[in-house]
Chain A
Amino acid sequence: MMDALGTFLDGAVRTATPLAFAALGETVVERAGIINIGLEGSIICGALGGLIASAAHGTGFAFVMAGLSGTAVALLFAIFVTLLRSNQIITGTAISLFSLGLTGTLYRQMYGPAGAALTISTMHSSPLPFLSRIPLFGQAFFSQPPITYLLYGIVPAIWWWLYRTHAGLALRAVGENPEAAITAGISGRRVQFGAILFGGFMGGLAGGTLVIAQAGTFAEGMSAGRGFIAIAIVVLGRWRPVAVAFAALLFGGANALQYLFQAMGWSVPYQIFLALPYVLTLCGLAGIAGRVHAPASLGKWVETS
């Protein structure tokens, strides 16, 4: 029983890690008033970028490249949305489709559809010396690949940046009332541009985690809608970094339920577990409707210069 619970929690954290990266990045973006549906594109590009870089140079470098791949895609989105003032939703959808198609094409070109897929040795778990001995939680939270520990550090860092620096204050103001920000001398366009790039980097890290720390290989469309789920997680976490991280963990848990069920010997069609995150997203979004305060200018067309 304990074993099953332990596996379940471990699975929950594993699943949650890439979701949390993507969701935290998107939190910053949405706090600046932009909704980036192209996040999915950053994730899948990060996945491929991370894989290729890892084969070339090793994991640390690979993660950086994964992040930068995600940023590159986000740059395209940023140009369309902050400079050309294109519709955020359609642009984001197009960018996701573009990235999915591009990564699929590139991967096949480079490694062939039937040929040996590129595999890398995945990043091993590094149990933290003292903490990993804690029963149950130790195995789940402190026996993870180092990238997860980076995540643990990023959560408070983002929190601090958003609430304890003037830059974070300015970003939140742009998302709340761009006019107030402009009359305080802030350049809304620049803030949004930077936020989008940051979100892209985080999305790339999410993709990198999928490949480098988990799957060890690339598969077309392996992002599997995580970008969209991340957006739902941002809403569920009410655009607050710590709550968003916990919401990601909740999703991870839902996904990891299948292990628990397996261990318990309860047989349920496995498709239910696959569909669960998406159904959860729908229920979650419906459940909190009207009781949540989104950044006031989220998604709107506003003159920010």
Chain B
Amino acid sequence: MPDPVSILPAALDLQVISKRFGSVEALSQVSLQVRSGSVHALLGENGAGKTTLMRIAFGMIRPDAGTIRINGVQKKLRAPADAIAAGIGMVHQHFMLAQAMTVAENVVLGGWGKYSVRAAADTVRKLGEKTGLLLDPFAKVSSLPVAAQQRLEIIKALAHKARILILDEPTAVLAPAEARDLLLQIRTLAANGTSVVLITHKLRDAQQVADDVSVLRHGKLILTGAMVDQTEASLVTAMLGTRAELITSGDQGAPATGTPIMSLQNVGVVQRNGVRRLQGIDFEVRGGEIVGVAALEGGATHLLRILAGRYKPTEGVARIPSRVGFIPEDRVRDALVAGFSLYENVALLEGGRRNGRMPWSRIKDETAALLTSFDVRAADINVPAQNLSGGNQQKLVLARELDNNPPALVAENPTRGLDIQSAAAIHQRLRNARENGCAIVFYSSDIEELVSLADRVVVVREGRVRPVAKDADAIGAALLGTSSSQTGFAE
């Protein structure tokens, strides 16, 4: 039980933590305390800053400002090793396990001297008995199901004597039954004196298990306090904010008619390692409409790439035009060649499609025109793409993909990291393309953007695609997995 009276210092005390990545303010003067032996839920949407804050607590990132106190003692954390020494353990969203090695080996990693297989196995077994997180010490990690790998991550942290355990979206990869087990185990851990920070966007999980809660939005702390003092409504409001002013009021546009340009029938994806990503997708996009896709981090990746024709589904039929513009999220890795000039980057698709001479002078003229019409700020068309700022790179990619009016366009977070003006310009471009009959699908982790730009919105959740009302609360709720009579979308 967490101590009811805060006489004792908090297990983890973060004071006025701020962090900036380039021009983006990821965290702005966030302060929160985790009481000893409590479960503290850290809520917020994608990009709110939850993971960043906890990575700072784990020593993976250095804050620009602020202090960290552990059990009342101020600590300077230069690397995860320091955090581990101070008793903090973290289980990340993407597991940090050596797949080819055994459970026991992963658990004792970082030790010294001789390595006794038996001693390591005993450690695993003992911890398993104490916490209920049972594992076979000799199993190879790659053979373990995801839920077991997660248990392993927790055991790892505990084996390093963590008194404060940070879990980053632990139930995101679990089936409902496994998630229930994990939540029970978290309560057991807290009962045994471990303080647990649960980073999650799942309201329900937080309500079930947390003693205290803090909510972040856009890098700022919105509320913090005991869970009993909060209601579902107050938490949702804190996470999503009041109805913010939309960037520009989007017109609805005429309802789309005509034959579908992109159509998926019973499409599914099972990866090589057996993990299922999509199933039973029936989805159509017509010319002249913009469809917004809402999803959790990484959830829409396969769907988007299937729509863009860059990935083949393992099940079902996908009918896609031969030319689909694609704006991937990681523009530097997937859309641009950093060291090549702007005009060469504009010519990428043309280079792929034609044979014979490259009409460079025409391409150069076209590029110059594109730079002007899309307001891409660059010295000239000859500079390497890596010289451009992120926003201008994005505008360039959009310009290239929209050039020559493709029948369809797929975009992944097209305005992420851009300033308001650039974002508005891109939105206008997309609307123009829609007027020209283009079928547009875009994914955004910003719900407000979905509402303002899309004609209709769908949600990708647990591998399925479902339509949802074009309403910020409805979309947010659908992603969070809550049910609400107002949303028209029941869990």
Contact = CB atoms under 8 A, between A and B. Distances in A.
B108 interface: yes
A176 interface: yes
Contact of B111 (A166, A182, A183): A166
Interface string A259-296: 00000000000000000000000000000000001011
Interface stretch (A100-108, A116-124, A149-157, A167-175): A167-175
A134 B98 CA distance: 44
A84 interface: no
A170 B96 contact: no
A176 B100 contact: yes
A contact face: mostly helix, strand, loop, or mixed: helix
B59 to A, nearest CB: 9
A293 B142 CA distance: 12
A180 B113 contact: no
Interface residues of B, number: 27
Contacts of B79: 182, 185
Nearest to B157: A183
A166 B84 contact: no
A180 B153 CA distance: 10
B114 interface: yes
A221 B12 CA distance: 63
B contact face: mostly helix, strand, loop, or mixed: loop
Contacts of B100: 176, 293, 295-296
A185 B97 contact: no
Nearest to B80: A183
Contacts of A177: 96-99
Contact of B109 (A163, A165, A173): A173
B105 A169 contact: yes
A120 B114 CA distance: 42
A44 interface: no
B352 to A, nearest CB: 26
Interface string B88-114: 001010001111110001101111111
B182 to A, nearest CB: 21
Interface in A110-154: none
Contacts of B80: 182-185
Interface of A: 163-166, 168-170, 172-173, 176-177, 179-186, 293, 295-296
Interface of B: 60, 79-81, 84-85, 90, 92, 96-101, 105-106, 108-117, 160
24 contacts: A164-B116, A165-B113, A166-B110, A166-B114, A168-B115, A169-B105, A169-B108, A169-B109, A170-B109, A172-B101, A173-B106, A177-B96, A177-B98, A180-B97, A183-B80, A184-B84, A184-B109, A184-B110, A184-B160, A185-B81, A186-B109, A295-B100, A296-B99, A296-B100
Given A180-B106, A185-B84, 12 more contacts: A166-B110, A166-B114, A169-B105, A169-B109, A172-B98, A181-B98, A183-B92, A183-B96, A184-B109, A185-B80, A185-B81, A296-B100
